[in-house]
């Protein structure tokens, strides 16, 4: 009753402050956020409560876990480096050039983000398998990719590249075009401008893209198991080890899952709370960036 | 010597302009926003290619569509100071000014001394280690100019360099800028939308209207013979240079110019000042006016020019000392019965004088 009265008073006062409406809005937002957070946190919390911290550490010592961890870190780092080396020129090209068929190229690059990973893995197998399009030529050279550690890296690069390219491209596109003009009138070649202006100003986006892409590599499952198989020590990364452990050893699966959870969490948290001044953009000169 | 004749179409807008400017001179390009000033500047800088035309700087051809020449910005000896200064936010003041020297692979030993000299010249040597965001607008502007002139350009382009500054800073910087530009050996093209700035800075002024140079000439030409309503309204002003010559009674200040003395309202600063009197501030009469006007000059009417387009107002060129241009309505001309060759009194108030330091 009193709420309705307050609303009527506010309406009577015309288009001035409307506390009633603001409260309702805040309450609705709070309810939605609470519900979503609970939904997101509950499974993670259940995972963490299922196992004592000591047990996770103890499990870490097991050869299966160690091998999976080593393999995951190794392949993720290599794949991320490949993604960065190929992704920066691609992102720069997409941000600064217009060319026929550009839209097609963009769709192709973004496709892995929405493609079911198993389909991606199957496609990779069709391409690089022994009977595949590129696989036959490779086989003639004595190179076999499927079911090797290299295949794990290829699957990860395929799946993670768009997660790096999207923010990096936005970063390049977000550099004030007047700075490029200024560089040109200061007699800088495009290459000089790229290294001295474009790249430094895009570092925050590149770091964000690297973290996203690295996290995607660490979590990659579907494409890996389809294209690289599930061979302990060669292609069995952490997510695959979790899958295997689920069939026989629930505690092992929990320990591995907790480890993966902490790694992903740490990666994102580290990115969000990078110390002030770490990026030059922490200054007032920064342009707002999403 | 800069010669440019260019045509550039951007959507429905077309810029068709011809310009000439001598070495060691300042050409002020004035026009309202949307008149094509920045487009013209970008064509000169090489950031845009003309659809048709030819730009030469001394004996160098920068662009010539007839022979397919289009020298890119980085290969032109052109300095460009953008409206918002466009300093590199991640580089220090020193690194900003050194940028162009590094880009053109100048030996690092001479980079240091050249950057230091440029920063000292602009009076910002003590800011060398600061980042752009730690500078005031005026300081940023000086650094941007230092960054351009350290490369010793043969053509310096300034795009509304004062517009990003607040009014108070602007007045001080304008005087400094004029003194600095006068010492440069290059051609300077200075873009502004402010007629006052144009009058204060340029010996030669080109007026840009809807993509065309409607008039180009000396300050005097424009003032006394405006060829369009825009020029008449915004540039057809009386302009003098003078120095303060002591206070007058009632709190007024006296300013002495080579042509004669004026009374002005505001206490003048040190040294030379530019004075602008808008023709509409000047009233004409047959008898010496008895009113409150502090500045009264007697002289004959040289010429009467109906102001385009509808001729409701008339510009009256007076052979007073100093020579003045008044702008009065047609009815008042008729009421006074004024004709060329007759003697009149021209009067304006001390508050009608705009003083620019």
Decide which of A111 and B162 is more confident.
Answer: A111
Question: What angle do the packed helices A177-185 and B37-45 form, to 10 degrees?
Answer: 50
Residues B170-191: pLDDT tens digits?
A: 777 777 888 888 888 999 999 9
Decide which of A286 and B289 is more confident.
Answer: B289
Looking at chain B, the whole-number percentage of residues with pLDDT higher than 70 is 94
Residues A187-200: pLDDT tens digits?
A: 999 999 999 999 99
What local confidence, expressed as pLDDT, does residue A13 receive?
43
Local structure of A220: helix, strand or coil:
coil
Give B65's pLDDT tier (boundaries 50, 70, 90).
very high
Residues B213-232: pLDDT tens digits?
A: 988 888 777 877 777 777 76
Pick from A34-48, B111-125, B163-177, B294-308: least confident:
B163-177
What local confidence, expressed as pLDDT, does residue B260 receive?
80
User: Going by C-beta distance under 8 Å and a sequence separation of 6 or more, which residues neighbour residue B43?
Assistant: B4, B6, B8, B15, B49, B50, B55, B63
Measure Cα distances from B336 to A117, B283, B306 in Å. Answer: 92, 11, 16
What local confidence, expressed as pLDDT, does residue A20 receive?
64
Decide which of A3 and B281 is more confident.
Answer: B281
What local confidence, expressed as pLDDT, does residue B270 receive?
64
Residues from A in contact with B at Cβ < 8 Å: 176, 178-179, 181-189, 192, 196-197, 200-201, 280, 283-286
Residue of B nearest to A183 (CA): B100
Q: Residue A21: how many CB atoms within 10 A of its CB?
A: 13
Q: Which strand (E) or helix (H) includes residue B177?
A: helix B167-182
User: Going by C-beta distance under 8 Å and a sequence separation of 6 or more, which residues neighbour residue B188?
Assistant: B21, B25, B26, B27, B155, B156, B157, B158, B181
What local confidence, expressed as pLDDT, does residue B309 receive?
53
Tell me, yes or no, if B103 comes closer than 8 A to chain A by beta carbon: yes
What local confidence, expressed as pLDDT, does residue A288 receive?
37
DSSP B181-219: HHT-SSEEEEEES-HHHHHHH-SEEEEEETTEEEEEEEH
HSE-CB at A198 with a 13 A cutoff on CA atoms is 25
Return the exposure string of A68-92: e unless at least 16 CB atoms fall within 10 Å of the residue's CB, then b: bbebbbebbebbbebbbeebbebbb
What local confidence, expressed as pLDDT, does residue A274 receive?
66
User: Going by C-beta distance under 8 Å and a sequence separation of 6 or more, which residues neighbour residue A135?
Assistant: A127, A128, A129, A144, A145, A146
What local confidence, expressed as pLDDT, does residue A15 receive?
47
Looking at residues B89-106, what average pLDDT do you find? 94
How many A-B residue pairs are in contact by the CB < 8 A criterion?
A: 77
Q: Is the pLDDT of residue B18 over 50?
A: yes
Contact flag A185-B46 (C-beta cutoff 8 Å): yes
Local structure of B132: helix, strand or coil:
helix
DSSP A2-64: HHHHHHHHHHHT-SS--HHHHHHHHHHHHHHHHHHHHHHHHHHHHHHHTS-HHHHHHHHTSHH
User: Which pTM was predicted?
Assistant: 0.76
DSSP B120: H
- Return the biggest CA–CA distance within chain A: 84
Residues A230-245: pLDDT tens digits?
A: 998 899 999 999 999 8
Measure Cα distances from A24 to A1, A284, B230, B232, B291 in Å. Answer: 15, 35, 56, 60, 67
Q: Residue B120: how many CB atoms within 10 A of its CB?
A: 13
Residues B248-281: pLDDT tens digits?
A: 777 788 888 887 888 887 655 667 777 878 888 8
**Average pLDDT of chain B to the nearest whole number:** 86
Asked whether the beta carbons of B318 and B302 are under 8 A apart, the reply is yes
Q: Is the pLDDT of residue B16 over 80?
A: yes
Q: How far apart are CA B348 and CA B50, in angstroms?
A: 47
Q: Is the pLDDT of residue A7 over 60?
A: no
The residue of A176, A182, A206, A286 whose CB has the most chain B CBs within 10 angstroms, and thus the best one to mutate to test that interface, is A182
Could you list the beta-strand ranges (E) of B123-198.
155-159, 187-192
Give A143's pLDDT tier (boundaries 50, 70, 90).
confident
What local confidence, expressed as pLDDT, does residue A233 receive?
87
Contact flag A283-B89 (C-beta cutoff 8 Å): yes
Q: Residue A212: how many CB atoms within 10 A of its CB?
A: 20
Choose the closest CB to B86 out of A179, A192, A286: A179
Looking at chain A, the whole-number percentage of residues with pLDDT higher than 90 is 56
Q: Is the pLDDT of residue B305 over 60?
A: yes
- The neighbouring-strand residues paired with B2 are B21, B57
């Amino acid at each position: 009753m009193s709420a309705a009265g307050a609303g009527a008073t506010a309406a009577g006062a015309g288009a001035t402050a409307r506390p009633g409406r603001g409260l309702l809005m805040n309450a609705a937002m709070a309810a939605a956020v609470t519900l979503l957070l609970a939904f997101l946190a509950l499974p993670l919390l259940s995972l963490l409560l299922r196992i004592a911290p000591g047990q996770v550490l103890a499990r870490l010592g097991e050869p299966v876990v160690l091998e999976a961890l080593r393999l995951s870190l190794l392949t993720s780092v290599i794949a991320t480096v490949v993604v960065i080396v190929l992704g920066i020129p691609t992102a720069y090209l997409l941000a600064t050039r217009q060319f026929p068929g550009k839209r097609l190229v963009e769709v192709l690059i973004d496709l892995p983000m929405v493609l079911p990973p198993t389909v991606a893995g199957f496609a990779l197998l069709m391409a690089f398998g022994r009977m595949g399009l590129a696989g036959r030529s490779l086989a003639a050279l004595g190179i076999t990719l499927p079911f090797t550690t290299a295949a794990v890296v290829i699957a990860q690069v395929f799946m993670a590249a768009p997660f790096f390219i999207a923010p990096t491209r936005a970063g390049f596109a977000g550099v004030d075009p007047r700075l490029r003009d200024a560089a040109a009138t200061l007699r800088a070649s495009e290459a000089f401008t790229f290294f001295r202006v474009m790249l430094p100003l895009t570092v925050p986006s590149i770091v964000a893209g690297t973290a996203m892409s690295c996290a995607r590599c660490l979590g990659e499952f579907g494409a890996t198991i389809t294209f690289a198989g599930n061979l302990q020590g060669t292609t069995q990364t952490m997510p695959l080890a979790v899958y295997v452990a689920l069939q026989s050893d629930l505690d092992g699966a929990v320990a591995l899952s907790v480890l993966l959870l902490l790694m992903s969490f740490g990666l994102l948290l580290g990115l969000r709370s990078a110390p002030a001044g770490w990026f030059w953009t922490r200054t007032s000169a920064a342009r707002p960036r999403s | 010597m800069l010669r440019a004749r260019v045509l550039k179409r951007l959507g429905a807008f077309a810029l068709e302009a011809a310009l000439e400017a001598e070495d060691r001179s300042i050409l002020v390009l004035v026009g309202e926003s949307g008149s094509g000033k920045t487009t013209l500047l970008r064509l000169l800088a090489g950031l845009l290619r003309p659809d048709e035309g030819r730009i030469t700087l001394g004996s160098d051809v920068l662009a010539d569509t007839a022979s397919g020449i289009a020298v890119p910005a980085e290969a032109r000896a052109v300095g460009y100071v953008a409206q918002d200064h466009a300093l590199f936010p991640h580089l220090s003041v020193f690194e900003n000014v050194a940028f162009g020297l590094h880009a053109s692979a100048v030996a690092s030993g001479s980079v240091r001394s050249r950057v230091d000299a440029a920063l000292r010249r602009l009076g910002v040597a003590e800011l060398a280690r600061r980042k752009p965001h730690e500078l005031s607008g005026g300081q940023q502007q000086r650094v941007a100019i230092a960054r351009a002139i350290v490369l010793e350009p043969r053509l310096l382009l300034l795009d509304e360099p004062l517009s990003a500054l607040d009014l108070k800073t602007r007045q001080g910087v304008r005087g400094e800028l004029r003194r600095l530009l006068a010492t440069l050996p290059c051609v300077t093209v200075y873009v502004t939308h402010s007629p006052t700035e144009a009058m204060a800075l340029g010996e030669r002024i080109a007026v840009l209207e809807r993509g065309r140079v409607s008039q180009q000439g000396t300050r005097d030409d424009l003032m006394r013979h405006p060829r369009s309503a825009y020029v008449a309204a915004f540039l057809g002003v009386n302009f003098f240079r003078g120095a303060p010559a002591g206070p007058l009674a009632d709190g007024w200040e006296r300013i002495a110019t080579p042509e004669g003395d004026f009374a002005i309202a505001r206490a003048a600063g040190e040294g030379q000042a530019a004075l602008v009197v808008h023709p509409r501030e000047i009233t004409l009469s047959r008898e010496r006016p008895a009113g409150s006007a502090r500045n009264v000059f007697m002289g004959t009417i040289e010429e009467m020019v109906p102001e385009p387009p509808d001729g409701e107002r008339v510009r009256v060129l007076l052979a007073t000392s100093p020579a003045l241009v008044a702008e009065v309505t047609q009815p008042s001309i008729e009421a006074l019965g004024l004709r060329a060759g007759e003697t009149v009194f021209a009067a304006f108030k001390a508050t009608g004088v705009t003083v620019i330091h």
